[in-house]
Structure 1
C-alpha cells in the first residue's frame, strides 16, 4: 500500500511510518518538523525564506501589526508545489485538522486537492483541534489543560493558540475536514474522551513506539538519583510545569545529597534525548489523563515518568495506579510525596522501570500499531 502522512507532532507519524515500512508499505511523510523539535520528513514545508536572518525582521514587524504570521503562507506555498507528488495514495492521514498550518482558505484549497487526488483520507486527533477544545471548554473534567485558564491563573494570551480552534474561521475548516474524511482516530485517552459521541470516530489507536530502536536501560543508582525536567516554554502553563518546579524546590532542599536535577528548555529532540538518557526519573506533564509520545518513549527507555495516568487510562489498559508510570496531579505536595517515596525506596524505581518497558512492548509496539492502522484504514 502507498501511504501519505501529513504533518507530525512529537514524532508520532515518524514512528508510524517506521512501522508501516517494516510491514512492507511505501510511506511518504510531509511536515514542517514541528518547530524547534525538527523531526525528519521526506518532504519539508518548513518556512525557510521568511525565517532567514534578513527577512525575519519584516516577518516580526508584520506579526506585531497584524497578528498574522506570514510563515503560515510560506508553508502553504511550499505544500502547493508538492501537490503533483502527493497523488494516488491508498490512504492519507492528517495529523490535525490544520496539518499544513497555513491560512484557513489556503489550507482548505490544498486539502481539497488531497481529498480529490487520493483514495481515503483520515484525520488523527493527537493535539489541539476543534472537538477537544470545545469539549474542554465545558469544564466537565476534574482538571485539564484549561484549568489555569478557568482559575484565572494566566492571561488569555497563553491560550490564544488553543482558542483559535473554536474560532468561526477555523470551524469552517473543521467542518470541511469532517465532511470529507473517511473517519477520525484518537491517539490517547485525552483525545478519545471528547470524540465518544461522534459518528465519524473510529476509535483509539495507541501511539506507536519503535522498541527495536529504543534500548531498555535498567536503572543503576550508584550515587545520586537523577531527575530530569524538559521545559517547552510554549506549553509551560498548559502542561502544569509550575507544579514540577515547586516540587523540585522542596525535593532539592530535602534530599540535597541524594539527588541531581537536570532542567532544559526548548531544545531540539536529539539533544533532549541525549540529556534525559542519564536520568532515572523524568517529569513530563500534569494536566493529562494519558501519556503523550515523549512520555511513552521515555518509558520505553526505562525511565520512571511523571505524566498523565488517570482512572480512565488505568481501566482501559487494566493497570494499577502508578504501576507503569506516576500519575502527576496538579498538586506540588502530591508530587513531592511521590518523588520522596521513590528517592527513599530506589527498588521502586527499578520495579516501575521494568513495568514501563513491558507496557510499551505490549501496548505500543510500532509494528502492531501500524497493522492496527492498516486494518482501520482499509476495512472502513
Structure 2
C-alpha cells in the first residue's frame, strides 16, 4: 500500500511509518516538524509569519481583516507541491486541524486530499471537536479542561483547545466526518469520548519502536534520580505545577538520597537521552492513559508518573503497576514518590514490568498490522 500520514507532534506517525515499512509498504509523512521538538517529516511545512515583527504584523492583519497569513502561507506551500499528495491508498490525519490552518484554508487542503486519494482516516490522538465537547460536558473526566476550569490557564493560552468549540471548527469537524472512512483512538483519553460515535473504528495503541529505545534494568546505588521535563506551553495542561511542588518537598525531605533533573523546552532527541540516567519520570497529571512521552520512557524501563486510571488497567487486564497513576494532588504525589524513594526495589520491579508491557501491547510492527487491518476493513 501507498500511505500518507499527515502531521506529527509526538513521534506516533514516525513509529507507525517504521512499522509499516517493515511490513513492505510505501509510507510518507507530510506536515510541520512541531517546533522545538523537530520531528522528521518527508514533506515539511514551515509555519511562517510566526515570530518577531512578522508575527505582530500577522496579528494586526488578522485583527483588522480576519485573515491569517500563516494559514495562507501553509496553503501556498501545500498547493505548490500538491502533485506529490495524490494516488495514496490511505491518508491518515493526525487530528482535525493537522495543518494548523483557519477553517477556509484547512478545508481547501483537505478537499484536495479527499478527492485525490482512495481512503482517509482520522486519528483521535489529541484534542478535537468530539473530545473537547465531551471534556466540557464531563468536567470530572481527567483532561486539560480541568485546570482551565480552575482558572489556571488564561483563555488566550487555551485557544488551541477552545477553537474546537467555535462554529468554524464545528463545520470543519462535520466536513471531515462526512469524508473519512473511520476514526481511530490512540488511548483511553480519546477512546472514552468516542464510545457510541458511528464512525468510531477502534482503539489502536500508540506504536513504539523498541528497537530504538534500549532497555537497561534500573540500578539504584545511593540515590534515586527523578526527571521532570517541562514544555512551557503546556505547563498547567500537564500539571507541572503539582509536580514542581511535590518535587520541592521530596528534595527537602530526602536531601542527598534524591537527585532531581528539570529541563525546559528541549528538542525531542535531547530530551529522551537526558532522562537515560533517571529512575523516575514525571509526565502528566490530567490523563487516563499514557501519552507518547510516557510510553517511550516506559520502554526504557523508567517508572513514569502519568495516566493509569482503572479503565486503562481493566482494558489491558493489568494486576500489577506498570506506571504510577498521577493525580493533580501534591500530597498524593509526595506520598507516591516517598514510597518509591524508600522502596527502591519497587522502582526496579515497576521498570521491568513497564518494558514488558510496552513490548506486549505497543510493539510498532504489531500496531502497524492493526492499522492495516482497520484500513482494509473500511
- TM-score, length of structure 2 as denominator length: 0.96
Please list, as runs of the form range in 1=range in 2, the aligned pairs for 1:68-147 lying within 5 A after superposition. Answer: 70-147=69-146
Unaligned ranges ≥5, structure 2:
none
| 1:59 maps to 2:70 | no
Distance 2:74 2:265 in 1: 22
Q: Extract structure 1 runs of 4+ deviating beyond 6 A.
A: none
Name the SS of the counterpart of 1:122 in structure 2.
strand
Deviation, structure 1 residue 61: 3.5
In structure 2, distance between residues paired with 1:143 and 1:379 = 32
Say whether residues 1:368 and 2:370 are aligned partners: no
Superposed displacement of residue 152, structure 1: 2.8
Contact 1:76/1:103 (<8 A) preserved = no
Separation of aligned partners in 2, 1:35 and 1:72 = 16
Secondary structure, aligned partner of 1:191:
helix
**1:163 matched to which residue of 2?**
162
Counterpart secondary structure, 2:238: coil
- Separation in 2 of the partners of 1:197 and 1:60? 44
SS in 1 for 2:277: coil
Which segment is superposed worse, 362-371 or 63-72? 63-72
Query: In structure 2, do the counterparts of structure 1 residues 252 and 31 end up closer, same or farther at CA, with 3 Å as the change threshold?
Result: same
Alpha-carbon shift at residue 69 of structure 1 (Å): 5.5
Q: 1:142, CA displacement in angstroms? A: 4.7
Give the aligned partner of residue 327 of structure 1: 325
| Cα contact 1:59–1:70 (8 A) shared by 2 | no
Q: Which residue number in structure 2 is paired with residue 340 of structure 1?
A: 338
Equivalent pair of 2:327/2:333 in contact (CA under 8 Å) = yes
CA deviation map 1:236-278 (0-9, x unaligned): 1111111101100100000111011111111110111121111
Q: How many residues align?
A: 375
Match of residue 2 from structure 1: 2
Q: Which residue of 2 aligns with 1:202?
A: 201
Q: Deviations over 1:271-292 (max 9, x none)?
A: 1112111111000000000000
Deviations 1:335-359 (A, max 9, x none): 1111111111111111000000000
CA distance in 1, matches of 2:154, 2:84: 43
Closer/same/farther in 2, CA of residues 130 and 142 from structure 1, 3 Å limit: closer
Once the two structures are TM-superposed, the CA of residue 115 in structure 1 deviates from its matched residue by 0.6
Q: Secondary structure at the match of 1:184?
A: strand
Report the alpha carbon displacement of residue 128 of structure 1 after superposing the two structures with TM.
Answer: 1.0
Matched, 1:40 2:67: no
CA distance in 2, matches of 1:205, 1:306: 22
Measure how far apart 1:58 and its partner are: 2.3
**1:299 matched residue in structure 2:** 298
CA RMSD of aligned residues (A): 1.5
1:150-204 C-alpha deviation (Å, 9 max, x unpaired)? 2233432232220001110111111100000001000000000111121000010
Answer whether contact 1:59 1:69 (CA < 8 A) is retained: no
TM-superposed deviation, 1:71: 2.6
Q: Contact between 1:158 and 1:237, CA under 8 Å: does it hold in 2? A: no
Question: Hey, what does 1:350 align to over in structure 2?
Answer: 348
Indicate the SS of the match to 2:263.
strand
Change (3 A) 1:344 1:138: same
TM-score by length of 1: 0.95
Spell out, residue by residue over 1:305-324, the C-alpha distance to the aligned partner (whole angstroms, 9 max, x if none).
Answer: 00000011010001136x10
Tell me the distance in 2 between the aligned counterparts of 1:111 and 1:289: 31
Deviations 1:109-136 (A, max 9, x none): 1111101111100000001110100000
Deviation at 1:64, TM superposition (A): 5.7
SS at match of 2:229: strand
Q: Is the 8 A contact 1:101 1:107 kept in 2?
A: yes
> Which residues of 2 match residues 231-250 of structure 1 at below 5 A?
231-250=230-249
